[in-house]
Structures are given as C-alpha cells and as structure tokens.
Structure 1
C-alpha cells in the first residue's frame, strides 16, 4: 500500500509540475478542442443549455474577416483567427496580393476587441478556386496558447508568436508548398513542454517542432504520408516517463516522441487515402475515425514499430467525415450526416444512433472547419458536407453546432436526450468553428462575428 501511495504521489506532483509550467488555468480552453485536445471542459461551472438572440446571449463582436478556425480562451481573453482582403466574397474574389491573416484578441467579459494583428500573405498562395479553398478560406488553423504567448499558424505565411498584449515575439516559416489538390492546410498547432508542434502537411510534408520562446526549429520529420492529412495531433501520456504525439494520416496512425521527433510506432488503420479528422485519445487508447467509408480503429498506445498485431484493439465501420469525435466516460460520441452516434470505447460496438431533431443546416451557405479544421464541401451538391465542427462536452451535456449556426444540446446518460436547438443570430451567417467553453460560457464564431453565450 505504501508503494502504491508513493507512486500516486509522484504522478500527482508530476501532473502539478506540468500544469504550473504551462501558465494556464484549469478552466482555460487553450487550443483546438480544449485544454487537452479532447473536447471536454475541465471546469464544473454550469453551462447554458438554451439560448437565442434575446436570451442568454451576453455579447457579439464583429470580426475583421471570415474564418473557420475555432476560438480559444485564456483567462479573460478570447483569441480567434480570420482572413480579409481576398476570397471573402465569391462574387468579388479580389486581388490575391491583398490577402491578410488576422489574430484577434477579444475581452471575454465585454466582447470588446483588445487588439488585431494582421499578417500579409506569402506568395504564391493557393488561389480561391475549386472545391477546397472556396469552402474554408484562409483561416482554418486554430491558435494555441501556453499562457505566456499565443501561436498562430497561417500556412505558407508561417507560424507567428505574440505575447498576450499583441506584441509579435517571433515568426518562422515551415514551408511554402501546396498539397496535390490545392485544398489548403488546416492542422492546428499544439504546445507541450516548451515546444510548438506544427503539422506542415501541405507546406512541406513534415511535422515540425519549434522552440516556443524563440521559434527556432528543434526537429523536423518529413514523410510523403503527411499529404492528405488535415487533422490536429494529440498528446497522450502513457506513463510518467513517456508521452506520445499521435496523429491519424492516410492509411495509418503514427506516434512520435515529442522531444526528438522519433517515430515510436505505427499501425495500419484504413484504406482511405485522406485523413480529415483528428485522432483522439483516452485512458491510453487512441481512436481514429476516417471518412468516405474508411471506418474506425482503436489502438493501445505505448508500443514499438508496427503494432497492428500487438496493440490494435478493434476496428469498425463507423466514419466521421470531417468532425472529430469526443470520448467521455468510456463512450465515443460522433456527429456526422445529421446523426449522432454513440460507440462503446472498449469494444467498438455501436450503442445508439439518433437523428438531429429540427436540423436545418444548409450545405449551400456553410463553410468548413474544425474536425480536420479546414474541411471542404464534397462537390457533389447538397448532402451534409457543410457541418465541420466537432462536438464538445461540458456540464454533463453534449454540444454540437452545424454549418448554419444551430447548436444542438443533449443531456448525457444511459440514453441521449436532446434538450434544445439554439441560435445566436437570425441573420444568414456560416459557422465552421468548434465551440470553446470556459467558466460557464460558450464561445461561437461565424464568418462575421464572435459570440458569447452565458447565463444571464
């Protein structure tokens, strides 16, 4: 018993050290899909389950441009990226040389814009044409913060670090290439142990680690397999001495050592040549759901080399085209095609499927985003391809926003109970970003505004 207690104490001290070093509070939503990238709010404050333009809408802030990235929250500040100058209006595309990216900082209490930093586009940029960039534009990557700085990835225009007051600390290029389809990039950066990890899939077919203080490149791992990957990596702590950086790529799952970039293990995952959504991890297991009939897989982390025979737990037929599922209390929740599916995390067995009631999403007007952040419409007309946000869980409830701005809320339990369908505006706006949740408030971004929902 004494040995067990000492081990628990050591793990607790280790966890406290990681938390304190980050400079972030438990209630912060500091990256794509929350503090640990798992789509689950950590604070226990009640979160509204019902709102409208007249009820529980605390404020809305006009943004300087469009975008499908997700907001993040650090303390009393909300950060979101946008783009302007080109490709905002399909009827008047404009001049590509006028394209700018923005990192915007908004006061979380009042909705007042505190600062707006713009970055000119590095040319040649992917044109606003085809079925890719026209669907998501040029602000698809969600920023990330370690509590001291905010890091924004703008594709060919590089990675930019700002302090909390908007002073640019450094910038670094990670490549200026394009993916074979010229659909643009989308993977969001993440931060761990003093490093900023950037998946420059389109820009250089590489995973790059930058020093968080200086922007200096620490390591780079290149592979052709990065082409066709738009998801965001996830971190999984396997033991006190081992943390893995895991991602879903076409055909496989890869795991890297964060400090060195060494490939730790890989596992055959599907026959899909594209990986749109992000891998998720829970209790030492990595889950990946691919699109276009690619199916799903669960792999136990901690292996070495090819782990298909030794660590693969199950495979399934469920797909999640663009959005990333959320794992909670042993169950996996995914929303795709107007249906929420619940899967047993241990066996992969489908537990239930429920259609979204009163779902009125419009594929004709909504851009793409978040599960792989920077999704695109299928090009087949109609369908459900406009819903790109990922579901999140807060206060025992599941939240999902579709492309037209409807937010569905379910009470979690043995069976899902749909509580409400909500809107923050009666105007025609496109919603692509995954919601951020912090201190009992929900932050939603459209192509025009940033919204804050809170109990009045």
Structure 2
C-alpha cells in the first residue's frame, strides 16, 4: 500500500493498495514489505516493493503504472529506486538472478536491463548516481562486487570485487573522487574506491579499507572532509574521508539499523531501541544530547523543512520545535487562515512561477506569526525575484539571527544589495558566517568575498551531484550580480538541468526561475 499523511496534523489522506500478494513468503523479522523509500517528484510518487512490484502513482493516490520483476530475495525487499532524468532505476539482487533495470518513469516500460556478473546472491542496497568528469555514473552495490554503469544505457564502466561479501544493505556514498562501499555479510568492511577507472579496478583503485567498526546495515554519512559510520552494535566512527584515518571511535549504546543523518549542523544517530544521539560534526567527539521514543526504530529518519519524521514499528512521528511547526514543511492544503496553509500556498506559487502571489503569501504569513518571520528564507528569495531588494536584504539579515552559519543566507544578502546598490557595496556588506561544512559552500563564500577564483568552486565540488548543483547555482547567481550574462547563463543552465532536480530540491526551482529571468532579458 501507499500511504500519505497531512504534515500539519498527521491525518491520513492517501491509502492505496498498489499490489496484492497472494502467497507471501517469510521475510527477515527486522524487515517489512515496505522498506524501500518512495520518491516524490512533482505530482508523481514512485514506490518500490522489491520483487513484489514497482509502481508510479499521483500524489492523490491514483495508480499510473505498475511493473514487476521476479527474483528470489530471501529477506524481503530493501533497496530503494533512484531517478535519473526520465528513468527510474532499481537494483534487483536475488540468489537465482541479479540485474539492474531502468524503467521509463512515464510509462513503466523497460528502457534497459543489465545482468550482474555471476555468481549471484542477495543484496539490498540503493544505487547512486554520481558525476565523474564529463560523464554520469550509476554505482550499484551487489553481492561479491559493486559496479558502475552508464545510467542511460546500462553498460558497465568499472567493477570492484569483495569475494566474501553478500547481503549488502548500506547505500554507497560519494565524495572527494571516492565512492564508499560496504561489502556486506559476514565480515563487513568499508572500501573507498576511486571512480575514474574502467574494467576490474579491484587491484588498482581501492584507496583504503576500513575493517574495524564497519557497518552491515546503516549507510555511511559524508560531511565535508569527514566520513561518519555506525556499525550494527553501536560503535560510531569518524574517519578522514580521503585517507581513512580514524579521528575518533565511540560506543553509542544500543543496536543500529537506521543510517545517520546530517541536518541543521548536527548529526543524528537513531538506535533500534528508539534512542536518538545527537553530536556535533567534527574531528573531536562531542555529544549534544539524547532523546528517546517508544517502540522499535529500524527506519532512517527523514528531514523536511525544520521537521524530522520518524517511523517506528507502530507509529509515525513528526518532531519539530514549536516555533518551527508553524512554518516548516510542505503538506496538504489546510483552511486558508492557518499558517501552514499560507506557507504551502506561497511555496506552491513560487514553484509555479507566480512570484507576486508567492510574495503576498509570505508577507501575510510574516504578519500572522511575526516571531517566526526570521525563519522565512523562502520569503527573501521571493522578494528578490519581485524586485523588492531592500525588503529582501532585511529578510536575510533577520534570518541570520536564527541561522548564523548559513553561507547561502549571506549569498542571497549579497545578491539583494548588489541589485539595490552595487556589487562593490554588496561585498562590503557581506554577512559574516560561522562554519558551514557543506561542500562547496565555504569556497562559494570566499568567491563572494573576493578572495577566491570562481574556478576553485567547481574543483572543490568534485563529482558529487549535490555539490556540483550548488556550485553551478551560486556561480551563476554571482556572475549575474556582476553583470556577466554569458557566464551566468552557462552555470544557471547547468544548475537547472533535470539531473539535479532531486538533489537541488527547492533550490532547483530557484535555478529554473532564474534561468527564465536571464533568458527574458
């Protein structure tokens, strides 16, 4: 089934049976038949139930298409699908067959299907699309080896082997020219593999391997130059992402299936026993707090706006501060006088290019809940495109009081001042920021400050799609502020490309809107 809930109230608004399984087999007691994460894109929702089926629905719960691929998955489903341009790609790994398949996201028809190399066995990992030089790669982890494929054709580019590893669960992570791959059961290790090879790269491209404290189930987390992992028995480690050197290793307590997440300059670990441990990112271990929920928690936390969503064995939780709950997230329509409904409408208007209507909504919200107005960075961006540059400047100065480390806030403040006055005045008025570990935000700040060449931003971004997106977006905005339309178009076109829609989120909408304004000039 596919379920949807009102973000503001938790009320169920969609409950659609997608597949009916007549003879359900036994699965691992830690698993369910709905472990993969759905993908929402526009008015489409893509759901995957492993060998039980894959489908697309509307956000209202109407089924658009269904597809099914048979393979023998001993423990049930696990890996989630991934979108790439007009393709929905899934890894299907069983003891009887193993393959990666790309479906047309509009119709569900097979566009390509590539068999794994033998021997086959079970695996439960989610593929990852990365950018390497001038090409995109799809990294898919399977039993005994991981492989990189051309995401458009399914042709294998490179592969790396681990002859004893199978039943792989963690998703690969990419950064610094390395993809980090968990080798699975029974003796787990974590490999850092250079991604610029071809063919069998097992002997040539493994930069380093972690054998002590590697996870069987939780995925690793990359924040800046540090890689964070927690193994299934609760030992957390912080590694130098480039060398594999261990900065610290601490026992958190409890058992772990959920992957750690990074949000609001904090790292969150969630144990199977429902205990969340919050730490500060960095090369020294610093615990900020612990919180506990009733019930078993095996699923990873999800973050939207200023809210965290946690699914336990019996309940779905939305966790947010009281201040943020009035303006965070995008849910279903509410009565028009409620703050959440006004926020949702203003966001929707902006996404649809209705700038005046979006600004009116954000202005109304700021008046309705004035104490929360500093949180509304979305209002500042809408004000920029409405040409209200002084109000835009004031919004980002206000937002700095609640988010002082955000480079993006300083960048938008720069853009507003540059339009209202001049780039020189904008540089002089550039807001100070604290440590922002997101790559390449630190380099972007230096460019806006005038102390770094713009070319260094793309070099710092490397091959990570999210980093590439933000590099192109803010370089494009920067060049536009300087009056260099040609360079601005070059980068904004890149940021507005469909391949960055998933990683860019709301800011991808900003890229598309800015591209339209540039083209109309």
The alpha carbon displacement at 1:116 in A equals: 1.0
Q: Distance in 2 between matches of 1:207 and 1:108?
A: 34
Q: Distance in 2 between matches of 1:273 and 1:103?
A: 30
- Does the residue aligned with 2:29 lie in a helix, a strand or coil? helix
Q: Distance in 2 between matches of 1:118 and 1:185?
A: 17
> What is the match of residue 31 of structure 2?
136
Q: Does 2:83 correspond to 1:188?
A: no
> What is the match of residue 194 of structure 2?
300
- Using a 3 Å threshold, how does the CA distance of structure 1 residues 401 and 112 change in structure 2: closer, same or farther? same
Query: Which one has the bigger helix percentage?
Result: 2
Q: Distance in 2 between matches of 1:390 and 1:313?
A: 23
> What is the match of residue 503 of structure 2?
none
Q: Superposition pairs for residues 419-434 of structure 1, below 5 Å?
A: 419-425=288-294, 429-434=295-300
The alpha carbon displacement at 1:247 in A equals: 2.1
The alpha carbon displacement at 1:273 in A equals: 3.4
Q: Distance in 1 between matches of 2:41 and 2:114?
A: 23
- Correspondent of 2:305 among 424, 439, 448: 439
> What is the match of residue 452 of structure 1?
318
Q: Does 2:11 correspond to 1:112?
A: yes
The alpha carbon displacement at 1:354 in A equals: 1.0
> What is the match of residue 34 of structure 1?
none
- Does the residue aligned with 1:119 lie in a helix, a strand or coil? coil
Q: Distance in 2 between matches of 1:277 and 1:284?
A: 19
Q: Distance in 2 between matches of 1:189 and 1:148?
A: 17
Deviation track 1:54-111 (CA, whole Å, cap 9, x = no partner) reads xxxxxxxxxxxxxxxxxxxxxxxxxxxxxxxxxxxxxxxxxxxxxxxx2111122222
- Using a 3 Å threshold, how does the CA distance of structure 1 residues 340 and 251 change in structure 2: closer, same or farther? same
> What is the match of residue 321 of structure 1?
216
Q: Distance in 2 between matches of 1:237 and 1:105?
A: 32
> What is the match of residue 404 of structure 1?
273
- Does the residue aligned with 1:243 lie in a helix, a strand or coil? strand
- Does the residue aligned with 1:156 lie in a helix, a strand or coil? helix
Contact 1:145–1:191 (CA under 8 A) maintained in structure 2: no
Q: Distance in 1 between matches of 2:199 and 2:19?
A: 42
> What is the match of residue 58 of structure 2?
163
- Using a 3 Å threshold, how does the CA distance of structure 1 residues 155 and 432 change in structure 2: closer, same or farther? same
Q: Distance in 2 between matches of 1:123 and 1:156?
A: 13
Q: Superposition pairs for residues 278-427 of structure 1, below 5 Å?
A: 278-291=171-184, 292-318=186-212, 319-336=214-231, 337-356=233-252, 359=253, 361=254, 384=255, 387-425=256-294
The alpha carbon displacement at 1:226 in A equals: 5.0
- Does the residue aligned with 1:121 lie in a helix, a strand or coil? coil
Deviation track 1:321-355 (CA, whole Å, cap 9, x = no partner) reads 11111011111101121221111111111221012
Q: Distance in 2 between matches of 1:414 and 1:315?
A: 19
Q: TM-score, normalised by structure 2?
A: 0.58
Q: Superposition pairs for residues 199-278 of structure 1, below 5 Å?
A: 199-202=91-94, 204-223=97-116, 224-225=118-119, 227-239=121-133, 241-269=134-162, 271-278=164-171
The alpha carbon displacement at 1:157 in A equals: 2.6
Q: TM-score, normalised by structure 1?
A: 0.66
The alpha carbon displacement at 1:225 in A equals: 4.8
The structure that has the greater radius of gyration is: 2
The alpha carbon displacement at 1:250 in A equals: 2.5
Query: Which one has the bigger strand percentage?
Result: 1
The alpha carbon displacement at 1:411 in A equals: 1.2
Q: Distance in 1 between matches of 2:50 and 2:166?
A: 22
Contact 2:144–2:183 (CA under 8 A) maintained in structure 1: no
Deviation larger for 110-119 or 223-232: 223-232
Contact 1:146–1:191 (CA under 8 A) maintained in structure 2: no
Gaps of 5+ in 2: 323-521
The alpha carbon displacement at 1:439 in A equals: 0.9
Gaps of 5+ in 1: 1-101, 362-383
- Does the residue aligned with 1:398 lie in a helix, a strand or coil? strand
- Correspondent of 1:121 among 11, 20, 43: 20
Q: Superposition pairs for residues 67-78 of structure 1, below 5 Å?
A: none
Q: Distance in 2 between matches of 1:105 and 1:151?
A: 13
Q: Distance in 1 between matches of 2:316 and 2:9?
A: 12
The alpha carbon displacement at 1:403 in A equals: 1.0
Q: Distance in 1 between matches of 2:278 and 2:229?
A: 13
State the structure with bigger RCO (CA 8 A, min sep 6), 1 or 2. Answer: 1
Deviation track 1:153-175 (CA, whole Å, cap 9, x = no partner) reads 11233111111111111101122
Q: Distance in 1 between matches of 2:61 and 2:105?
A: 16
The alpha carbon displacement at 1:270 in A equals: 5.6
Contact 1:209–1:219 (CA under 8 A) maintained in structure 2: yes
The alpha carbon displacement at 1:296 in A equals: 1.9
Contact 1:236–1:284 (CA under 8 A) maintained in structure 2: no
> What is the match of residue 55 of structure 1?
none
- Does the residue aligned with 2:181 lie in a helix, a strand or coil? strand
The alpha carbon displacement at 1:263 in A equals: 0.5
